[in-house]
């Protein structure tokens, strides 16, 4: 976790109120779930500037918040916040969205020895992340879908990485909608293992074609490290075209590896070879 003075340093911000030695343990980006003791980071997301919810967070017992120093409402928000809580921690930054991204980069570097599995794909990535995490959680402590928010933007991922020190590893879902986004996400999470589950027209947004989607998804390997393994779904015609590379080890997986598939009371099970041994797997 970070002290207020460390947030100031790594975001290139400025403490305008509060004790620099305050230790921050909880961080929130949401307007709906203010909790006592949290540090509120009001990102601009989906055309909503969450700055307008800062005072609600302070009234709910927030320990501090970030604010854009050039905000039209800067003076009003800061003055009212200090009236509610004279000891409230306040950090002004150039841009809140960029500040939390920079903080996420710093947190990843602090915990660079902890492996991260990054999962992307046009569909199925949330389910696949959950399945991978459930398997790993039988042995180690896994950071996954923190607070069940199911958000995969670089700002939410950066916030989640602030908790990485409390876990053995992480399984993180990466979502994209524009060209250039995946490189930013890869730089943020620096995955040891990357997974591309599907390429399709779902959530195509600004990417226009499946070929563009594949090209953008492949940037998940831009900052791959350590194990440097890329898993691709070999049932997908576009992922079948992914070539081997000196940058990573390519591994393929397929539904054809599963057999004796059974469903009972809504639960699915199947057999597959795990390290050469026939194993029944239940979900």
Q: What is the CATH number of the domain that holds 192?
A: 3.40.1190.10
Mean pLDDT of the 65-77 span:
95
CATH code of 26's domain: 3.40.1390.10
Claim to verify: residue 96 and residue 136 sit in the same structural domain: no
Claim to verify: residue 43 and residue 96 sit in the same structural domain: yes
* Domain-located, residue 249: yes
Claim to verify: residue 170 and residue 63 sit in the same structural domain: no
Tens of pLDDT, residues 219-264: 999 999 999 999 999 999 999 999 999 999 999 999 999 999 999 8
Claim to verify: residue 115 and residue 218 sit in the same structural domain: yes
Compute φ and ψ for 29, nearest 5 degrees.
-110, -10
Claim to verify: residue 92 and residue 158 sit in the same structural domain: no
Q: Whole-model pTM?
A: 0.90
Claim to verify: residue 91 and residue 185 sit in the same structural domain: no
Cα distance between residue 64 and residue 127, in whole Å? 35
Are the C-beta atoms of residues 218 and 256 closer than 8 Å to each other? no
Cα distance between residue 40 and residue 66, in whole Å? 7
Find the domain containing 81 and state its range.
Answer: 2-101
| Structural domains counted in the chain | 2
* Domain-located, residue 269: no
Compute φ and ψ for 100, nearest 5 degrees.
-70, -35
Claim to verify: residue 141 and residue 215 sit in the same structural domain: yes
Claim to verify: residue 131 and residue 70 sit in the same structural domain: no
* Domain-located, residue 136: yes
Tens of pLDDT, residues 153-199: 889 999 999 999 999 999 999 988 788 899 999 999 999 999 999 99
* Domain-located, residue 262: no
Amino acid 147: pLDDT: 62
Amino acid 46: pLDDT: 75
């Amino acid at each position: 976790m970070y002290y207020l003075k460390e947030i100031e340093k790594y975001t290139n911000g400025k403490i305008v109120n509060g004790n620099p030695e305050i230790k921050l343990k909880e961080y929130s980006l949401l307007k709906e779930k203010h909790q006592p003791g949290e540090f509120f980071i009001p990102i601009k997301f989906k055309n909503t500037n969450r700055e307008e919810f800062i005072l609600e967070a302070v009234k709910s017992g927030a320990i501090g918040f970030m604010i854009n120093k050039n905000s039209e409402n800067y003076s009003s928000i800061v003055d009212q916040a200090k009236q509610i809580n004279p000891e409230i921690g306040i950090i002004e930054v150039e841009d809140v969205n960029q500040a939390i991204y920079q903080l996420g980069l710093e947190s990843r570097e602090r915990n660079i020895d902890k492996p991260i599995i990054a999962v992307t794909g046009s569909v199925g990535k949330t389910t696949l992340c959950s399945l991978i995490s459930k398997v790993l959680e039988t042995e180690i402590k896994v950071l996954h879908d923190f607070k069940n928010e199911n958000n995969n933007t670089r700002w939410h991922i950066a916030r989640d990485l602030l908790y990485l020190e409390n876990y053995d590893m992480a399984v993180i879902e990466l979502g994209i909608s524009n060209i250039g986004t995946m490189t930013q996400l890869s730089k943020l999470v620096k995955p040891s293992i990357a997974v591309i589950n599907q390429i399709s027209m779902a959530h195509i947004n600004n990417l226009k074609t499946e070929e563009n989607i594949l090209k953008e998804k492949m940037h998940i390997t831009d900052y791959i490290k350590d194990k440097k393994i890329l898993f691709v779904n070999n049932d997908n015609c576009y992922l079948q075209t992914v070539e081997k590379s000196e940058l990573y080890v390519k591994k393929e997986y397929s539904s054809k590896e599963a057999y004796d598939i059974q469903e009972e009371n809504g639960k699915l099970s199947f057999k597959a070879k795990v390290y050469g041994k026939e194993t029944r797997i239940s979900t």
